[in-house]
Structure 1
Amino acid sequence: MTKLLNQYSICVIDIGSPKLGNIGWCVYDALHNKYYKGADLLKLYPVLSSICENNGLILGLEAPLFVPLRTDLLLATKARKGEGRRPWSAGAGAQVLALNLPIMTHIFKNLLHLKPNLKFSFSADNFTAATEEVMIFEALVSGTDKGNTHIDDAEIMVNSCKKYLQKQLLPKNILETEIGVEYFNLAAAALQRVGYKNHIQQLSSSLPIYKPD
């Protein structure tokens, strides 16, 4: 792992139905050593806007953010290598993938409204944690890692990432290389939908998947 020269703040959003109150978020502001938590996304956006004025941000959404594209159609819904026994396509994973599409678009639209110059990245290799730089990752909090509430789940992932921040590192990506597999990046597509000018090749990229350790 390459050490970062800049510190970064951390935000994780546990995705669910807004109508049913199944959303929770947690932010760690590295500059001020302060936590913010809540269930209302509209209260989150100003917090992130302020944080991005001072340092970079890693933004985790607890939902599948990219899907594998395989030549063999029989393997189309197979788990991504490394994600374990809870694949993106089964049960809760497939449900939250669909729920997240409009929510993720809402998140990106509002962040860019407040901070039009944000620079989004999808790879730890390209992330420097510079001011107004945001790296998106997929948060995988499941099984015994989960807390009692959606806010708890978000905070658990934030605290796991924070341990790496203290070492000037990014968390370990659990996604493993799979020969011959391409990807469809849903986060990149959502950013394009709200007018962000990312490179077309980013639609074919994976993202880091982080889970608590």
Structure 2
Amino acid sequence: MKLSAACVVAVDVGSVRTGSFAWAAVDMPGPTLTAHGDDPAGAAGALSAALTDGASAVLALEAPMSVPVPGDWKLLGKGRTGEGNRAWSASAGAGALATGLAQGAWLLAEVARALPGLAATTQVSRWRGAADGGGAPLLLVEAFVSGEGKPVPTALGPHAADAEAAARAVAARLAGEDGTDGTDMTCAPQRAFSLLAAQARWAGLAVAGDELALDVLVVRARPAG
């Protein structure tokens, strides 16, 4: 499904104290880099400003944002389909997940405070402007920047480069420009526990209850060229 007008804000989660946190915003179509920073308040402000102006917006967190919960306990901790050798439960993924939970919840709470009653969704088909005419202007997705998809660090540093790469990859996927349809990773056939939906509900955003158990869109950044 091709969607065109939106602001995509991507966050490279990491330690705020040590300068490992970064965010970047791109406007679709294009995508055109419009803003970037190394502070969570700036990321929340960019999202709120886009939504206040009546545009659709996307928040992409670079951390595992859905996990499989199997019926068979022997499969607990098993990686998602599409993760390869970088399972969400491995040390790097688990660390990013924990950090992303706190930072994502804070960001969404700030947006909810600025825009009371705002609706959010993890489902592209429910996003405002989707084919079914859904009314949620804020889409929540997961970005994955690793391996061959990792960009060359810019003068702004590797974390800013990762955030920009994530934002551009998500924008390209939603605009139907990267040749890939759908998600790069899924919890299926196991039941999904959506951390994005849980964060949004905790923050006070309006999110459909069934989204707690629905897979989220995961977009993997790919090599340029």
TM over 0.5: yes
Matched residue, 2:142: 138
Matched residue, 1:123: 123
Matched residue, 2:36: 37
Give the match's secondary structure for 1:110: helix
Matches within 5 A, 1:47-86: 47-52=46-51, 53-86=53-86
Matched residue, 1:189: 198
TM-score by length of 2: 0.83
**Native 8 Å contact 1:29 1:51 kept in 2:** no
Offset, 1:186: 1.3
Give the match's secondary structure for 1:162: helix
Offset, 1:125: 2.0
Offset, 1:167: 4.8
Matched residue, 2:26: 28
Unaligned segments of structure 1, at least 5 residues: none
Residue 173, structure 1, aligned to residue 183, structure 2: yes
Offset, 1:162: 3.4
> Which deviates further from its counterpart, 167-176 or 129-138?
167-176
**Native 8 Å contact 1:15 1:61 kept in 2:** yes
Structure 1 residues 178 and 202, CA, compared in 2 at 3 Å: closer, same or farther? closer
Identity of aligned residues (%): 27
Offset, 1:115: 1.7
**Native 8 Å contact 1:57 1:129 kept in 2:** no
Instruction: Give me the whole-angstrom Cα distance separating, in 2, the residues matched to 1:161 and 1:99.
Output: 21
Instruction: Give me the whole-angstrom Cα distance separating, in 1, the residues matched to 2:114 and 2:80.
Output: 34
Give the match's secondary structure for 2:125: helix
Offset, 1:208: 0.5
Offset, 1:135: 0.8
**Native 8 Å contact 2:121 2:207 kept in 1:** no
**CA deviation vs aligned residue, 1:29-82 (integer Å, no higher than 9, x gap):** 338955201101112222222212232112110011111010121211111112
Q: Alpha carbon RMSD of aligned pairs, Å? A: 2.4
Q: Which amino acid aligns with 2:123?
A: S
Q: Which amino acid aligns with 1:23?
A: F
Matched residue, 1:12: 10
Matched residue, 2:2: 3
Q: Which amino acid aligns with 1:78?
A: K
Q: Which amino acid aligns with 2:162?
A: D
**Native 8 Å contact 1:171 1:210 kept in 2:** no
Instruction: Give me the whole-angstrom Cα distance separating, in 1, the residues matched to 2:42 and 2:188.
Output: 39
Unaligned segments of structure 2, at least 5 residues: none
Q: Which amino acid aligns with 1:61?
A: L
**CA deviation vs aligned residue, 1:103-147 (integer Å, no higher than 9, x gap):** 111001101111224221111222234897111111010113223
Give the match's secondary structure for 2:201: helix
Give the match's secondary structure for 1:111: helix
**How many residue pairs were aligned?**
210
